[in-house]
Amino acid sequence: MLRIVTPEEMKQLESLAEAAGVTQEMLMEQAGKQVDAVVSSFVTERALATKALILAGRGNNGGDAYVVARLLHQRGYTVQVIQLFPIDPNSLVRKQRRRFEARGGKIIDLGQQLPPFPQEGIIIDGIFGTGFHGAVEGEAKRVIEAANSSGLPIIAIDIPSGLDASTGKVEGVAIEATRTVAIEFPKIGFFLEDGYNFVGSIDCLPIGLAPYADKTKASYCVLEKADVSAHLPKIIRNRQKYSAGHVVGLAGSHGMAGAALLSSIAALRSGAGIVHLLHPDDCIQEFGKGPLEVVRIPYQAQDTASVQKWFTQASACFMGPGLGKSPAIEALIEALWSTWKDKKIVIDADALLPASTISTAHCGMLHQAIFTPHTGEMQRLLGSTEKEPLTLSFLAKCQQFVDTHQTHLVLKGAPSFLFSYDAIPLILMRGDPGMATAGSGDVLTGILASLMSQGLDAPTAMHLGTFLHALAGEAAAKEETSFCMTASSLISHLPAAFKELK
């Protein structure tokens, strides 16, 4: 898995490399070559003009920018560098600037008058690096605002200028990157607070630091395709519907049949052989309009024995989507504890809080359960009454929750965070903004339950299921756009997601 680093961890890796004889200049040259290759490919793919405006700062990020400028100039690009700040005459940045100038490179030292930006081509951001904190002010603020409003694509070197690599905060302005070329590893600030709105798509390009990362423990890692593709359930030729995966769902209420049915259909479309959906007996008419393949079973909240029987028979269960909140539902979930505490089960939406409360009271032994809250639901699980930003502190509380309950948890969002007890948290960078639509989480619930019903354990199902969900979102957006996709779009594009992993 690809690790995620803090600025401090990145400095530590650079120090280890330097102690082994790898100089800053060598790292800078390698970083510049990697960014140059990405820029060239980006320009070719989009049929852009071979013109580059490069924004250079005074630190190592600025040095990287000059290497990129020199290499693009050698490719025949029209390159113009705006130098935002005075440079130390003895610095490595100055050395790289001289190399660019020696090859006829054009540089504008920023004064009072901001030079006009080109009307075509690309902008490369090398103003601030991972050491930046606080607010962008003065001339740098003007340049960043001009870059953002230029209409040109922007590629950020390592991190968008103005974004705090440790916290993800943006105080005022920051580069709104089309693409961020992360040097060796993504930085944790990409995924916290404002970060994900500024980094665009992320490339992680090696410069030779990876071998030194083995000497330190990762705090977070990225979930990648290679981590999940080998875990698709095996389909045997002589299976029948119950051995293929029997999912039982406790979901739905008045006006919320759609949530329950989305989970049920997603479970079937993810490989489960049969799905029994338990719904309130006073909602028969609403649920009767659902798909033919979902077997609907009416229940009464006080009839715990009947619900318990279905849960016992299932290969995996889900509960929560559209379930509603009432003392009767809470009592039912508690009455079912003896059945679902050791069960492969997905706990979502309205079942989250009562299930976690019951689990805490029983010391928590939910080894095969997956909780799937969004950030607001997670805050309620943690007992918080006020909205919390997405910080490392908040994520640490999520990890503490799964350790206490000995369980697994998907913190849904963009990006999503995956937690398991006694394991390194993972970040899922795949997916599409169009997935922020009603019912998307219900689809994920069905996918996860389906994969567990087919024999996967909870953490494996969580990794594979969230990845499939994200791939379905990408496929749906490609065909329908992010504007037009719905939760049903995710279900209809699950075949494309499975095909990509086969």
What string of pLDDT tens digits covers the 502 residues of the chain? 899 999 999 999 999 999 999 999 999 999 999 999 999 999 999 999 999 999 999 999 999 999 999 999 999 999 999 999 999 999 999 999 999 999 999 999 987 678 889 999 999 999 999 999 999 999 999 999 999 999 999 999 999 999 999 999 999 999 999 999 999 999 999 999 999 999 999 999 999 999 998 878 899 999 999 999 999 999 999 999 999 999 999 999 999 999 999 999 999 999 999 999 999 999 999 998 889 999 999 999 888 999 999 999 999 999 999 999 999 999 999 888 888 777 899 999 999 999 988 877 766 678 999 999 999 999 999 998 888 899 999 999 999 999 999 999 999 999 999 999 999 999 999 999 999 999 999 999 999 999 999 999 999 999 999 999 999 999 999 999 999 999 999 999 999 999 999 8
How far is Cα 452 from Cα 396, in angstroms, rounded to an integer?
Answer: 27
The answer to whether 183 touches 31, Cβ cutoff 8 Å, is yes
Domains in the chain with CATH codes: 2-215 (3.40.50.10260), 226-231+243-501 (3.40.1190.20)
pTM score, whole prediction: 0.95
Number of Cβ within a 10 Å radius of residue 211: 11
Paired sense of beta strands 179-183 and 201-205, if any? parallel
How far is Cα 40 from Cα 336, in angstroms, rounded to an integer?
Answer: 59
In this structure, what token pair is assigned to residue 13?
């890796």
Q: Where are the alpha helices (DSSP H) in 336-454?
A: 337-340, 352-361, 375-381, 392-405, 440-453
- Which strands sit side by side in the sheet containing 408-411, from one edge to the other? 2-4, 220-222, 426-428, 416-420, 408-411, 369-371, 345-347, 316-319, 246-250, 274-280, 295-299
Query: For residue 196, what is the enclosing H or E element?
Result: none
Distance of CA 301 to CAs 255, 330, 442, Å?
Answer: 17, 10, 22
Q: Residue 276, Cα to own-chain centre: how many angstroms?
A: 31
Q: Residue 79, Cα to own-chain centre: how many angstroms?
A: 34
Q: Rg of the chain's alpha carbons, rounded to an integer?
A: 26
Q: What is the phi/psi pair of residue 358, to 5°? A: -65, -45
The answer to whether 272 touches 453, Cβ cutoff 8 Å, is yes
Angle at 429 between CA 426 and CA 433, to 5 degrees: 135
User: Which one, of 154, 193, 160, lies nearest residue 414 by Cα?
Assistant: 193
